[in-house]
Structure 1
C-alpha cells in the first residue's frame, strides 16, 4: 500500500501517531458519504492505519485495511476495530464487498494509485461511494507538506482535487469535489454499468 520507506516510518511512529495527528474531519467525510446511492452497511477504511478516520464515523460495519502492522495493532487494540492487513493495490476482499470506501490522508502514500483506484472500483458495490480526504499540493501548506515528506524519504505522490476527480470519472465514478483547501475531499459514486 505504501512505499517501503513509508511503511517503516508508520510502523515506527504507530505508538505516537494518534497523539500528534488531528482527528479526521467527520463532517467532510459525512458530506461525501451523503452522495452514496445505496445504504452504507459495510465500509472499508483503506490505508486506515490506526483507525483515526474510522473513529470519526458511526453506523456501518467498518474494516480498517493497511500494510503497517504497527498501525493495525493500534486500530485493533487501541480502538477495538476490525483490521485486516492488505495492500491497496490488491485488496483482500471479494467483488462488490463494500458499500463505501474511505481513504483519509493516505492516498498520496500509495505507490500505484491507479491500481488502488481499480481495486476500490472492484470491491465497491454499484452505487456505492468512495470518499478520499487528501492534501492539495498547490496550496501553500500543501507545498510545505510535499517538501517535508520528500525530505524524510517518503515516496509521496500528491494529486490536486481536480486531477483526482478526473481520474475517478475515467474509471467509472461520478466524481464530486466536496470541499477544497489544504485538506480537500473528493467523492465518487460507482456507476452501475462499470466495475
Structure 2
C-alpha cells in the first residue's frame, strides 16, 4: 500500500508510532461518516496502521487494512482489532461490500492515489462514504510536513482538499469538503 521505502519506515517505527502520534480526531471522522446515506455496519480503515483511527470509532465492524505487517501487528495485539495486509490499490473486498472507508493521515503515503480512490469507490455500497483525513500542503504547517517527510526519504505526495475532491468526483463519488486547515476532511459518497 505504501511505496516500499514508506512500508520499511513504518515497520521500523511501529513500536513507537502511537507514542509519537496524537489520537485520531474522533469528531472529524464522525462528521465525515455522517455524510453516508446508508447505515454503516462494515467499515474498512485503509492505511490504518496501528489502528489509531479505528480506535476512535465505535459502532461498525471495522477491519484495519495496511501494507505494514508490523503496524498491523500493533492494531491486532495492542488494540484487538481485525487487520488485513493488503494494497490500497487492490482491496480484497467484493464490489459494494462495505458501508464506509476511512483513510486517516495516510493518503499521502499511497503510491497510486487514483487506484486507491477507484478501489474505495468499488468496494463502497451505494450511499456509503469514503472519509479522508489529510494534511494540506498549501497550509504553512503542511509545507513543513511535506519538507520533513521528504527529508527523511518518504515518497509522500500530498494533495489539497480541492484536488482530492476533484479526484473523488472522477471515480463517481459525490465529494464534500467537510473542513479545511492543516488537517482537513474530504468525503466522497458513493453515487
5+ unaligned residues in a row in structure 1: which ranges? none
Instruction: Give the drift of 1:97.
Output: 1.2
**Per-residue displacement from partner, 1:21-55 (whole Å, max 9, x unpaired)?**
00000000101100100000000000000000000
**Per-residue displacement from partner, 1:71-119 (whole Å, max 9, x unpaired)?**
0000000000000000000011111111000000000000100001111
Q: Match for residue 181 of structure 1?
A: 181
1:121 paired to 2:140: no
- Over aligned residue pairs, what C-alpha RMSD do you find? 0.5
Give 1:1-195 correspondences, 5 Å limit.
Answer: 1-191=1-191
Moved over 4 A (4+): none
Task: Give, in whole Å, the separation in 2 of the partners of 1:106 and 1:5.
Answer: 14
Task: Give, in whole Å, the separation in 1 of the partners of 2:62 and 2:148.
Answer: 31
Task: Give, in whole Å, the separation in 1 of the partners of 2:90 and 2:170.
Answer: 20
Task: Give, in whole Å, the separation in 2 of the partners of 1:97 and 1:20.
Answer: 34
TM-score, normalization: structure 2? Answer: 0.99
Task: Give, in whole Å, the separation in 1 of the partners of 2:23 and 2:132.
Answer: 15
Instruction: Give the drift of 1:171.
Output: 1.3
Instruction: Give the drift of 1:6.
Output: 0.3
5+ unaligned residues in a row in structure 2: which ranges? none
Instruction: Give the drift of 1:169.
Output: 1.1
The count of aligned residue pairs is: 191
Task: Give, in whole Å, the separation in 2 of the partners of 1:85 and 1:2.
Answer: 11
